[in-house]
């Protein structure tokens, strides 16, 4: 009987071992074969020159989709993002530098169009808000913690009588 258990255990190890190895190999294949998915939905949007397309993608990944607001125009499928991608690609094709394209976009849409806006006087509040929120929250917690709780009000005569009655019955 012990021989049968050993045989069954070996068969089980062989089956599950290969199962887990196959699953791991499949997951590794999926991981290595997957590429970043850009939102360029129409191949005609792409530039024929690979170097220009790479530049357009680099510039587009620094620009915020004004509809989605937390995605770059390269990652967004919104109609406005598609239009902005086309504008970027036209300007790359026209031979403008990355900085010229970014300056044109900022002039047209403001600093908000950049995913990482530069620190300047106009964006000071944008950069300072998290720190101001922490300071205000810390001050509120400090002042709230310093306050001593109010002393309880003394019992009324009716409450004392009721308490005495409850104490006698208990």
Q: Is 122 part of any domain?
A: no
Question: Which CATH number is 99's domain given?
Answer: 1.10.8.640
Distance CA 40, CA 55 (A): 14
Structural domain total, the chain: 2
Q: Tokens 């406005």 — which residue?
A: 80
Q: Can you give the residue range of the structural domain that contains 22?
A: 1-34
Q: pLDDT tens, position by position, for the chain (170 residues)? A: 455 555 555 555 555 556 666 667 666 666 666 555 444 555 667 777 788 888 888 888 889 888 887 888 888 888 888 888 889 989 988 889 999 999 999 899 888 888 887 777 877 887 788 899 999 999 999 888 777 777 888 989 999 999 999 998 76
- 10 Å Cβ neighbour count for 142? 9
Q: Is 89 part of any domain?
A: yes
Is residue 75 exposed (0-12), middle (13-18) or buried (19+ Cβ within 10 Å)?
middle
Distance CA 87, CA 12 (A): 60
Distance CA 162, CA 170 (A): 12
> In terms of domains, do 88 and 53 share one?
yes
> In terms of domains, do 21 and 73 share one?
no
The model's pTM: 0.51
Q: Is 93 part of any domain?
A: yes
Q: Is 109 part of any domain?
A: yes
């Amino acid at each position: 009987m012990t021989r049968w258990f050993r045989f069954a255990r070996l068969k089980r190890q062989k089956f599950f071992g290969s199962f887990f190895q196959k699953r791991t190999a499949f997951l590794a294949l999926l991981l290595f074969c997957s590429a970043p998915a850009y939102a360029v939905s129409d191949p005609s949007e792409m530039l024929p020159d690979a170097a220009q397309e790479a530049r357009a993608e680099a510039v587009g990944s620094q620009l915020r989709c004004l509809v989605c607001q937390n995605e770059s125009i390269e990652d967004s499928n919104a109609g406005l993002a598609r239009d902005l991608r086309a504008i970027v690609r036209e300007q790359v094709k026209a031979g403008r530098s990355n900085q010229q394209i970014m300056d044109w976009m900022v002039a047209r849409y403001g600093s908000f169009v950049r995913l990482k806006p530069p620190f300047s006087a106009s964006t000071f509040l944008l950069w300072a808000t998290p720190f101001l929120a922490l300071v205000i929250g810390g001050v509120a917690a400090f002042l709230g913690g310093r306050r001593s709780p109010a002393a309880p009000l003394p019992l009324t005569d009716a409450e004392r009588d009721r308490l005495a009655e409850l104490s006698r019955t208990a």
